């Protein structure tokens, strides 16, 4: 069952669809921008287009965080009420604001490679901090392994590459998506093995329990099939990869609460 009733994440965690959507949007669009800057920087049209996607992903993500906080003014208080660098929520909120402003600037104005790369650093922080946010909680499935940020980054590269493929079906990009998908699968397997002793209920919920539909849906629909189709039907492979990217974030969010 998909849960959408989300209280303040600073308190007792009970997260579901909105947080999974935020992780998916930020990871996918952010990954697309990172890949465009790192590997296709000469194609300024692609960089600007991916900057717009990422800005929209960050903007919607910020809106989902406001929903999660329950009151818009609480989001503003989190940003403006003092300097709290030890707070992951405070840092993440500022990462969102700064990355969003930078992405909008890249889209609207001609910018240098240095500016685009600096914004890419902020975007990478937005993508990675979501996993760190989970690891700050007392949930073994999220914090028993140090691999969760790497899983989210690998998944962002895979999903971001898939998003780019819908408009830019290039052989080099296909190789990048395949490589990142293989890394993603390996990191996920290691994370499950690492966390199993401390988070047995969560891992079993994925393999044979109530979250098995999401886990095996990711494995079959969002991972195996796209790898098989990558050289045969790029658009279908990309769409299935995006479905898998959402399923991964959903089952990671939910398994930590089993």
Q: What is the CATH number of the domain that holds 158?
A: 1.20.1630.10
Average the pLDDT over 210-214 and give the result.
97
Q: How confident is the model at residue 9 (pLDDT cuts 50, 70, 90)?
A: very low
What is the count of structural domains for the chain?
A: 1
Give me the domain span that covers residue 182: 17-255
Distance of CA 109 to the CA centre of its chain: 26
Determine whether 178 is exposed, middle or buried from the number of CB atoms within 10 Å of its CB (0-12, 13-18, 19+): middle
| pLDDT exceeds cutoff 60 at 6 | no
Average the pLDDT over 229-257 and give the result.
94
Q: Please check whether residue 165 lies inside any domain of the structure.
A: yes
| Distance, CA of 164 to CA of 34 (rounded, Å) | 11
More confident residue, 53 or 72: 53
Q: Cα torsion for 241, 243, 248, 250, to the nearest 10°?
A: 160
| Distance, CA of 103 to CA of 47 (rounded, Å) | 10
Q: Please check whether residue 12 lies inside any domain of the structure.
A: no
Q: Cα torsion for 248, 27, 79, 13, to the nearest 10°?
A: 0
Q: Please check whether residue 106 lies inside any domain of the structure.
A: yes
Q: How confident is the model at residue 199 (pLDDT cuts 50, 70, 90)?
A: very high
Look at 6-15, 44-53, 77-86, 153-162 and tell me which has the smallest mean pLDDT: 6-15
**pLDDT value, residue 137:** 82
Q: Please check whether residue 183 lies inside any domain of the structure.
A: yes
């Amino acid at each position: 069952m998909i849960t959408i009733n989300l209280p303040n994440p600073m308190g007792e965690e009970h997260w579901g669809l909105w947080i999974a959507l935020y992780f998916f949007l930020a990871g996918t669009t952010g990954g697309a921008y990172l890949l465009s800057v790192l590997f296709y920087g000469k194609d300024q049209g692609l960089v600007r287009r991916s900057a717009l996607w990422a800005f929209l992903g960050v903007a919607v993500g910020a809106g989902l965080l406001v929903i999660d906080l329950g009151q818009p003014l609480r989001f503003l208080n989190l940003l403006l009420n003092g300097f709290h660098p030890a707070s992951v929520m405070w840092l993440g909120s500022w990462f969102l604001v700064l990355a969003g402003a930078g992405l909008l600037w890249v889209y609207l104005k001609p910018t240098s490679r240095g500016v685009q790369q600096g914004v890419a650093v902020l975007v990478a922080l937005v993508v990675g901090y979501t996993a760190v946010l989970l690891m700050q909680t007392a949930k073994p499935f999220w914090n028993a392994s140090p691999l969760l940020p790497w899983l989210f980054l690998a998944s962002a590269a895979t999903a971001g590459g898939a998003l780019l493929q819908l408009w830019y079906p290039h052989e080099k990009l296909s190789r990048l998506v395949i490589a990142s998908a293989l890394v993603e699968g390996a990191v996920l397997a290691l994370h499950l093995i690492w966390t199993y002793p401390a988070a047995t209920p969560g891992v079993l919920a994925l393999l044979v329990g109530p979250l098995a539909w999401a886990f095996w849906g990711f494995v079959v629909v969002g991972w195996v099939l796209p790898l098989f189709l990558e050289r045969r039907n790029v658009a279908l492979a990309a769409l299935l990869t995006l479905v898998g990217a959402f399923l991964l974030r959903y089952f990671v969010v939910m398994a930590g609460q089993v």
